[in-house]
């Protein structure tokens, strides 16, 4: 009980496919025997003064509840809502990816906004914008797949719809 195990899962793909790559992003997890997967941080001193070790972040600091992840040291904070939650079940992975695809696809021409050469136009999205659209995709307002940021104080609410 209490033993710690760190592990990382990465998806290795076929780099021989056109525009393919050798691996997809992964992350490191901390498993504590008797507790399961936990959000974690790294403690300890510099390499010259001791060994760094992972420790569980107190649960009252898990701002995302059970979807909380490790403390960030790699500068990837801008991308958290763009990735699946670390506790997302297997059956929800494909629906998440399909929803992410819709979020980043133009409702005018069906083009994906991140990697249009790797993602052909999504035919089901073409022409859905209508005559009075504000942005041509959900990602036009929902930056990095998060909530839509409010306009700065004193600026008009040009990208907002009120019902």
Name the band, by pLDDT with cuts 50, 70 and 90, for residue 146. Answer: confident
Name the band, by pLDDT with cuts 50, 70 and 90, for residue 34. Answer: very high
d(C-alpha 140, C-alpha 134), whole Å: 9
What number of CA atoms fall less than 13 Å from residue 103's CA on the CB side? 18
For residue 53, the cross-strand partners are 43
| CA 150 to each of CA 43, 54, 122, 159: distance values in angstroms, whole numbers, following the listed order | 36, 36, 29, 9
d(C-alpha 23, C-alpha 10), whole Å: 7
pLDDT of amino acid 142: 86
pLDDT of amino acid 53: 84
H or E segment and range at residue 32: strand 27-32
d(C-alpha 91, C-alpha 126), whole Å: 28
For residue 23, the cross-strand partners are 12
> Is the separation of the CB atoms in 40 and 56 below 8 Å?
yes
- Identify the residue with better confidence: 49 or 27: 27
**pLDDT tens digits, residue range 60-109?**
998 888 888 787 766 666 667 777 777 788 899 899 989 999 999 999 99
Average pLDDT, the chain: 83
Name the band, by pLDDT with cuts 50, 70 and 90, for residue 50. Answer: low
pLDDT of amino acid 45: 66
> Looking up tokens 């107190």, which residue turns up?
58
The values of phi and psi at residue 91, to 5°, are -65, -15
> Is the separation of the CB atoms in 58 and 37 below 8 Å?
no
């Amino acid at each position: 009980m209490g033993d710690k195990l760190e592990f990382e899962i990465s998806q290795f793909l076929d780099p021989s496919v056109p525009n393919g790559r050798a691996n997809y992003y992964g992350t490191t997890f901390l498993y504590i025997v008797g507790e399961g997967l936990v959000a974690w941080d790294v403690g300890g001193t510099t390499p010259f003064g001791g060994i760094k070790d992972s420790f569980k972040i107190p649960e009252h600091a898990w701002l995302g509840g059970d979807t909380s992840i490790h403390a960030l040291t790699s500068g990837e904070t801008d991308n958290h809502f763009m990735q699946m939650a670390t506790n997302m079940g297997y059956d929800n992975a494909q629906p998440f990816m399909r929803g992410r695809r819709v979020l980043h696809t133009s409702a005018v021409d069906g083009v994906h906004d991140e990697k249009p050469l790797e993602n052909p136009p999504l035919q089901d999205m073409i022409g859905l914008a209508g005559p009075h659209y504000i942005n041509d995709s959900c990602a036009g307002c929902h930056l990095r797949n998060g909530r839509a940021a409010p306009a700065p104080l004193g600026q008009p609410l040009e990208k907002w719809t009120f019902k």
